[in-house]
Structure 1
Amino acid sequence: MKHAGKVVIITGAAQGLGLACAERFHADGANVVLVDVKADRGREHAQRLGERAVWLEADLSACTADMAASIIAAAADAFGGVDVLINNAGVIHLDDFVDFPEEAFDWVQRINLKAPFLLGQAAARAMIAQGRGGSIINMSSINAILAIPNSVAYAVSKGGIKQLTAVMAVGLIPHHIRVNAIGPGTILT
């Protein structure tokens, strides 16, 4: 199996693209850590996947460095380390630019940009300490380069992810940690 024994953390794993990533890595032999705020769905999917899957409930809109470190530590406690982090959790708020609420802008940035920054730092620290490298995958979007007028916060967050990924990739290459972004179009979940 392609990823036998690897430990993969996926945020936003209770549905959609995050769940598809978890299922695929699991089918390829990985131990998966499903992270999401949707407890019932996440727990159900982890139980369905079986012993090589665990569920962690986390509200990434309130992500702090301590929360990020605890997510990485929980994965290490469950499976002995961390090899891959997929920063997939994301939200969108739609409103006209001139009416876009500040609270909504901040909420989108906290989940879509700040949480991946903090989780990326925590995962990189663990990977460096393990000494075997790793991979961090940030879910960007076509909206990192394509502007849609009523999704200002989402487009800004995904543009930020694109640049965060570039900075992380250059900074972490000496530690054998690959950092990539994926920029899909709209996915109906």
Structure 2
Amino acid sequence: MARYIGPKSRIARKFGEAIFGPDKAFENKNYPPGQHGNSRRRKKMSEYGVQLKEKQKAKYTYGVLEKQFSNLFEKAARSKGITGEVLLQLLECRLDNVIFRLGVAPTRSAARQLVSHKHVTVNGQVCNIPSLSVKSGDIIGIREKSKSLEVITDSLSTARYNQSSWLEWDQTSLSGKFLNTPERTEIPENIKEQLIVELYSK
């Protein structure tokens, strides 16, 4: 499966945000990459460029490829509600994102790897599809033989799993419950979804 494996700090600098999590390289060089990154003589970005940049930021943040993102947008456009908000809700409902939000993995890419390597269960069944759309009431757990994995225990030790109001975590059984689809105000990502809608509307 194709995925981005290039330098993440460079992407974070491009968007001016640490979209992949804490990043010392980004903190040291908080300006765009390239020869003229720290120069004020950069051309003003066009309206299309601003919209495209916002779409790319959303793609990199959630680790979604172009075709996947386009399909999700089409699904959001067909759904009831505000298209941009529905798009972010669909992204948040992805299994790899839910694993990340629960605190089982430190990053979305690490969460995706856990799912792909069959360390995760959904409603008691092993699932290796990171893009699976989780529904209200679903129970997401860790396979019994995987509960002692260092990456999982280290991530959970940071006690980050109580931050999402639409998720419920049981530390005893190492399982979480997806309570409901989050509202836009509950999604912490700094993404201007209306710009993405305007881009696809051209």
Which band: TM-score by shorter chain? Answer: under 0.3
Q: If the length of structure 2 is used for normalisation, what is the TM-score?
A: 0.25
**Structure richer in helix, relative to its length:** 1
Larger Rg: 2
Q: Which has the higher strand share?
A: 1
Q: TM-score, normalised by structure 1?
A: 0.27
